[in-house]
Amino acid sequence: MIILLRIFTYVFLIIGFTGTDITVAMANCDSNSLGVSRTMRVNTNGGLRVGLVQYADTLALRDHEVVLTFDDGPIGHATQRVLDTLADECTRATFFVVGNMARAHPEQLRAMYRAGHTIAAHSNRHPMNMNRMSQARAQREIDAGFESINTALGSLGQAAPFFRYPGLAHSTSMNNWLATRNIGIFSADVMGDDWRRISSNEILRRTMRRLNQRGRGIILLHDIHNKTASMLPALLRQLKDEGFRVVHIVPTNGRFRLANETGQIPADQGFSR
Ligand SMILES: [Zn+2]
C-alpha cells in the first residue's frame, strides 16, 4: 500500500512538474489561446539588471518572445479585469506589486499568486525619488515592500526576489545594495506609456510599434488603469496573431511555488531578507 501510494505520488509529481499548464489547459485553453510558451528560471544570485530602457542587458529572450509585466497594483476592479483577460488567454505575467496595495487588497494578491502569476516587488509606498533618498531610507522602503507582500501572501508563499524601482528611478548605490541581497532589478525593454494621458488605442499602438522594433522584450504596463485593462484583450490577440510567444519568468532562488503545481522550485540559495 505504501509503495502504491509512493508510485502514485511520483506520477503526480511528474505530471505536476512537466505539465506547468495542465490546470490552465483544463480551463478551456486550446491552440488558439496565447498561452505560455515556456517558463524561464531567472537567477538573481549576485544581482541582476535587465531592461534595455536603462541597462545594457536584458533577459535571454528569443526572437518574438515577450515577458508581460504589470506595475502598481493590486487595486481592485482594474486589476481584476487584467487578471480575467490573462486567464482568458491562459497566459501568465509578472506583477510588480506596491506593498501598501498588497496590504489593502490581500485577497486579490493571493488570487494573483494562485493563478500562477509571478509576484514581484515595487517598493512599499511607491516614492518616485528613490534615487535621491538616503540609502538607509531607500533600503527600508524596499524591505518594507517585500515584507508587506509576504505578509499579504501569508502561508501561500513569498515574493520573487525581483524588484522594479518606482518611476525606474534607480541609483548606483541602491543597485549595488540590491545585488548584495541577491535581488534582481527589472527595468523594461518596451514601454506601453499607459501612465501618460493617452487612449487605450494609443497604448496598444505604441506597445506594438516598440515591440516590433525590438522583436522581443519585457513589456511594462500598469494594472491600476482601466484603459490598460480595456486594451489588454486586443494586445494579447495581436501578440498571438503576430506570432509572439509569452515567457513566464520565475526565480531560481528564494522560496517560490508555482500555483497549480505539486512541486516547489528547489534550492533556497542565498535569497535571505
Ligand atoms: Zn510604478
**Which pLDDT tens digit goes with each residue over 56-65?**
999 999 999 9
Shared domain check, 4 and 82: no
Domain total of the chain: 2
Domain containing residue 246: 31-251
Residue 167 C-alpha cell reads as 518611476
Cα 90 to ligand 1 centre (Å): 25
Q: Which residues contact 232 (CB under 8 A, 6 or more apart)?
A: 81, 82, 85, 86, 221
- Residues 171, 133, single domain; the answer is yes
pLDDT for residue 258: 40
User: In terms of domains, do 217 and 83 share one?
Assistant: yes
CB 189 within 8 A of CB 219: yes
Q: What is the model's pLDDT at position 5?
A: 42
* Helix-helix angle 77-88:226-241, to 10 degrees: 10
d(CA 48, ligand 1 centre) in Å: 19
- Cell matching residue 25: 489547459
Per-residue pLDDT tens over the stretch 213-231: 999 999 999 999 999 999 9
Is 47 found in the same domain as 10?
no
Angle subtended at Cα 169 by Cα 86 and Cα 143, rounded to the nearest 5 degrees:
75
User: Is there a single domain that holds both residue 58 and residue 93?
Assistant: yes
Please say whether the beta carbons of 124 and 141 come within 8 A.
Answer: yes
Exposure on the CB side of residue 271, measured as CA atoms within 13 A: 26
Span from the CA of 70 to the centroid of ligand 1 (angstroms): 9
Rounded to the nearest angstrom, the distance between the alpha carbon of 102 and the centre of ligand 1 is 14
Same domain as 222, residue 126: yes
The identity of residue 92, as a single letter, is R
**Which residue is listed with cell 536603462?**
54
CATH number, domain with residue 205: 3.20.20.370
What does pTM read for this prediction?
0.85
6-15, 88-97, 161-170, 250-259: the lowest-pLDDT one: 6-15
Task: Give 27 Cα–ligand 1 centroid separation in angstroms.
Answer: 31
Range 164-175 average pLDDT: 98
